[in-house]
Structure 1
């Protein structure tokens, strides 16, 4: 995906909406034990859907507001936006329980194996580090059922699924990451999209390095363009 499109997406999903959350709590006298991302997620979904429908419709298709899913029709990638915690939970469920969600079902059916990605990434990782246990037909059958609605309507535009995450803070300078996954929900590649947050919103100059393109790269947030992670797994 081109950088200008990444910028357009990040500008819709980075805000924390802390002030709006406080206004709602005060206005309706809501009692709560801790702040969460529910309100922010709804606002971000609205913003993302609006910009896709009004400005980026030729390139993207917004699928589901509740789960925040959209498709890059040209590159044939389905993106799911969620918190980092939610990403960890669905991957943990897949690895430990072979539990499928609609998203991990699409990943299982559509995403490449580490071996298939070896040519793409060259020497950046060694596919022999992966001991992948291939999945039984029962799991594929369950995945087909869960992913059926999405693939029936949009399957021609989906060759793989990726995840975009935002950290769980309600602040305006979160960590935003895009993950490419294997068919076994292993992270093959990750890219730090935090650098696309508008520099106007990076308040403390001492915490940022302004790059020549006018955007801010937060310190201690390393670009992960070349990082690939493998996890050895025993065959069942």
Structure 2
């Protein structure tokens, strides 16, 4: 997707109705925490967990990931797997700190200063999402949609459709920011304008989404440009 030069976001009409954020890998660099927890869990049942296997779980719903781990020898119920993994990652967040992705908090601050509604749309459970959001030194999100609150996880569009519905906006008027193929698939399928910011896994070029190499240096003006690109693109 071709994006025009950023306009001045002080003109509120140029901005999207909302910006919806993925969490793991987009807002925070927690994927290494998850991968370490997965490796420890599989090893405790005598199995091996490679980096390539771990990449399959990036962006997936936790209960989907739990079934993949069960197929790799983890003899636990899905709910127990999700709870154990979440406990491990939350412990790392408490002891090692929250690893923010470059530019994420700054872009959030710019959007809030411009009056743009925001939501966190994560496949992690709410208790972990709230732990991370509590570390942001300003009111960053109007609401959270978490993986334990949806029936169909990403790549299904339900999480983004739910967030737009709770905000009371048309999903086609929102921008979603994602770092995984699974997340981008969910956002695009919902009808949202999608921005992919590659991190652990590469993202493909596509007319269905915009790719940014980083969030560093990005502001509400850049988000406005993405929204403007859809407005200027004729419907098929």
Identify whether the pair has TM-score above 0.5, normalized to the shorter chain: no
More strand by share: 1
Which structure's CA Rg is the greater one?
1
What is the TM-score with the length of structure 1 in the denominator? 0.34
